[in-house]
Structure 1
Amino acid sequence: MNVSIDKIEQESWKDSAIHNLDGRIKLILTIMIIVYSVYTTDLIILLILEIYLIILLLISKVSIGFFAKRILLILPFGGFLAVFQPFIKPGAILYTLPLGLTITYDGVLFGVLLISRLIVCLSAIVLLSSVTPIETIVNSMRKLGFPKIMSMILSMTIRYLFVFYDELDTIRKAQKSRSFSIWNKKTSYFWRLKQVGYTIMMLFLKSFEKGEKVYYSMLSRGYTGESVSYRKENPIMKMDYLFLILTLILVFSIEIIHLNGII
């Protein structure tokens, strides 16, 4: 799956109704959807939220294939927790497997709930990053009053992601020019694993050296922990408020219908 940082930034600069929304509104909506998806235990509500996010994706003209690739890349990091739930959560036994393993009904339901929550949360985050430039997200956090250290760390992380990516791309090109391929089965598996270890070590060493140079350059230009970044003041437009209100109405309507037992 070829998902580069440059490609993510290109998608975020497209022109659409969702792209043109104020960054603060998009950030609030993302947090709201994540909190609500974690709060609810109803799979139908999670399905409705996912459909809503897909509709926003279609309006934003972001590539569905690119959107799906990004989710699939991140999903395994949290999805493995859901996979183990049928085996560890007590409840009515559905199947008995060899070695005394059992699959429980409650475990299956809880596992499905976890993976559904994860998909909705990842969809919201990926959609936000696909329709909002990274720097806009950081500035929106500052304008909304997020802790200063949080926005500063995120801002530095964003800049160093590009440094990491450039360094990794240089190392991979050097390896390719020497006919190295991690998928080449003609070479020893342990030798390939060793080369990957060298690559990771070299990546961190190069990034550390460049990080020191950048930090000393910042200090020489008067940077301190109390430094204030320039923020252009952009008023929130009526369309932004309208979009926020419509989304709030949708969420509250779903919750009211759920409490009344309709879904």
Structure 2
Amino acid sequence: MIEHLATIERDAQGTSRVHCLDARVKIIITFAAIISMVAMPYSTAVYPLALCWFALFVVWWSLTDLSPRVFFWRYLMTLPFGLFIIIFQIFFENPYYDVFTPIVTFPFGISIYAQSVEFASILALKFTACIIWVILLSSTTPMEDLLQGARRLGFPSVMALSLGMMIRYLFVFAEMYADINDALAVRHFSAFSRALPYRYRIKILAYTIGTMFLRSYEQGERTYTAMLCRGYGKDTYEHLEKKALTGGEYILIISMIVLFCATFTGVVLFWA
């Protein structure tokens, strides 16, 4: 999974109409979509709202010139972060329902409730409807542009610097991992190969992890020194060049916010 980090930055360098938008526009639209979805109460009204969000996302993604396969792969990469919590919801009673109807009963008093399954589906839709906009933002905005756009919107300079350093080292770490993984593959080593003794595989993996930590530390020192020599320091994001949004970008931001608010209000009133 970590080998595909570089492809995210590569795809973000595109030239589509969405790629060419100012990072601030995409950040505001992403936050507006997430906030409006999070604000929706946990009820079946989430279903039509999520459907509207998906339809709107499809329109935006079609303008990026990126294939649907790219989106599905990145969505699958995010699933482990929310899938575990969502699945476990079906086994618990939650405060959003008064009555619980068991569907399946297991030993030790464990049951799957119909209401909990409904709640898990609502939670899954909320998670998906939020994460797809984050995927759109990350797939069409280079990391440096994203940090500069956030800083122009008032994001603290220290936090922008910290995130910038983390992102830089994340890609360095990914390259190191790829090199070491290739070296092990050339030597016909596989951590899942039953042909090799279990203790030997654990030993090699321990050496590999230690090597990656040492190389990351050494590379981090060299990279940080080189960045300081080039003027990259704590004041890097303090004095960015002023960049005004165009009239069309303002209209796009206002139109999307109005659309989100109108859709949210319409769904709430209709479902009420």
Structure 1 length as normaliser, TM-score? 0.90
Tell me the residue number matched to 2:39.
39
Tell me the residue number matched to 1:115.
124
Tell me the residue number matched to 2:158.
149
Tell me the residue number matched to 2:30.
30
Tell me the residue number matched to 2:86.
82
Provide Cα deviations, 1:108-135, integer angstroms capped at 9, x if missing partner.
1221122111112221111101111111
User: Is the contact made by 1:18 and 1:59 (CA closer than 8 Å) also made in structure 2?
Assistant: yes
Secondary structure of the residue that 1:247 maps to in structure 2?
helix
* Range with greater deviation from structure 2 (164-173 or 78-87): 164-173
Tell me the residue number matched to 2:216.
207
C-alpha displacement of 1:226 = 4.2
**How many residues end up aligned between the 2 structures?**
263
Instruction: Sort the Cα spacing of 1:17 and 1:111 in 2 relative to 1 into closer, same or farther, 3 A.
Output: same
- Structure 2 unaligned regions, length at least 5: 95-99
Tell me the residue number matched to 2:253.
244
- Structure 1 unaligned regions, length at least 5: none
* CA–CA separation in structure 2 for the residues paired with 1:60 and 1:220: 37
1:1-263 equivalences under 5 Å are 4-40=4-40, 41=42, 42-90=46-94, 91-219=100-228, 224-228=233-237, 231-261=240-270
Aligned partner of 2:187: which letter? R
C-alpha displacement of 1:227 = 4.8
Secondary structure of the residue that 1:261 maps to in structure 2?
helix
Secondary structure of the residue that 1:260 maps to in structure 2?
helix
C-alpha displacement of 1:35 = 1.6
* Range with greater deviation from structure 2 (180-189 or 127-136): 180-189
Secondary structure of the residue that 2:121 maps to in structure 1?
helix
Secondary structure of the residue that 2:103 maps to in structure 1?
strand
Provide Cα deviations, 1:17-58, integer angstroms capped at 9, x if missing partner.
111111101011111111222221322212211221122111
User: Is the contact made by 1:3 and 1:66 (CA closer than 8 Å) also made in structure 2?
Assistant: no
* CA–CA separation in structure 1 for the residues paired with 2:258 and 2:140: 22
User: Is the contact made by 1:3 and 1:69 (CA closer than 8 Å) also made in structure 2?
Assistant: no
Secondary structure of the residue that 2:63 maps to in structure 1?
helix
C-alpha displacement of 1:201 = 2.6
C-alpha displacement of 1:173 = 2.0
* CA–CA separation in structure 2 for the residues paired with 1:83 and 1:262: 26
**Highest relative contact order (Cα 8 Å, sep 6+), 1 or 2?**
2
Instruction: Sort the Cα spacing of 1:181 and 1:84 in 2 relative to 1 into closer, same or farther, 3 A.
Output: same
C-alpha displacement of 1:149 = 1.9
Report percent identity of matched pairs. 31
Structure 2 length as normaliser, TM-score? 0.87
Aligned partner of 2:269: which letter? N
Aligned partner of 1:12: which letter? A
User: Is the contact made by 2:3 and 2:178 (CA closer than 8 Å) also made in structure 1?
Assistant: no
Provide Cα deviations, 1:74-125, integer angstroms capped at 9, x if missing partner.
2112210010111012533232223321111221122112211111222111
C-alpha displacement of 1:221 = 5.9
